[in-house]
Amino acid sequence: MRNVFFSIIIPSYCSEKTISACIDSILAQSSESYEIIIIDGLSNDRTLEIVSAYGSDVKKVVSEKDRGVYDAINKGIELATGEYIYVLGSDDKLYSNNTLGNIQETIKGSSPLLIFGNVENVGRQHNAVPAIHLSKFDTSIYLKNTLHQQGCFYHHSLFLKNKFNDDYKILGDYDFHLRLFQEKISSVQIHATIAICEAQGLSKRFTKELYQEELRLKKHRLKFFWLTVNRLLIPLKYMRKRYLNF
């Protein structure tokens, strides 16, 4: 039996303006079977001071240099004692006070390896970013990351052999999700919004580096047909989103 049901990992860096709202959204949950783990990248603002004020409500805090967000998440996974691992950005929030409790109730009596739901995007600066990310776990994932990391709960056993590949700086979660789909793992879809997320991260800026990384990971993950499709599609996606803004 694991110590708690949810291990919530918050990677942070200079998050003094948002970290309180993030933590408060967890502490307000009707379910109390969780632990909060903060992995900080040596913030030089008041982030750690704010976190320390929560005392024992935050179970573990690590502040040290990392190789990027996926390295930070992997460090959190190493410390996690929960049945399910969830990653919440330091500028994001859980959608409602019953989010965690509803998930526990929905999967009662079962242990799917992946639980996924929708995410609300706020602060959108690009027409290609939807107001609500409607998650799917089907073959469309070969074309784009149909799962939003802040809408995913991962069973701890998924990380016994593999964690997020921190060689990827933007799409490490996409690489992980592709592998999960190819392994045909058990999953449960939650038809509800899980989190409210700021839509200004690296994956929402549609840079050349984003699409270069997407092609690199697909060369590793996909077989001939889907790789050929993506070789044609990725440049078109870049042009459409970067220059036509849709």
Domain extents in the chain: 4-201
CA dihedral 71→73→79→82, nearest 10 degrees, is -150
According to the model, what pLDDT value does residue 98 have? 98
Q: Under CATH, which number does the domain 4-201 receive?
A: 3.90.550.10
Alpha carbon distances (Å) from 122 to 34, 41, 111, 119, 125: 26, 24, 31, 10, 9
Dihedral-angle region of residue 48 (phi above 0 means left; psi in -120 to 50 means alpha; beta otherwise): alpha
- DSSP secondary structure code for residue 107 in this structure: T
- DSSP secondary structure code for residue 32 in this structure: -
According to the model, what pLDDT value does residue 97 have? 98
Residue with tokens 């990380």, as numbered in its chain: 159
According to the model, what pLDDT value does residue 242 have? 72
Cα–Cα dist 156/192, whole Å: 22
According to the model, what pLDDT value does residue 129 have? 85
Nearest to 83 by CA among 68, 103, 53, 67: 103
According to the model, what pLDDT value does residue 199 have? 79
Query: Is this prediction's pTM over 0.85?
Result: yes
Q: Token digits for 160?
A: 């016994």
Residues of the chain with pLDDT under 50: none
According to the model, what pLDDT value does residue 100 have? 98
Nearest to 209 by CA among 165, 155, 169: 169
According to the model, what pLDDT value does residue 123 have? 86
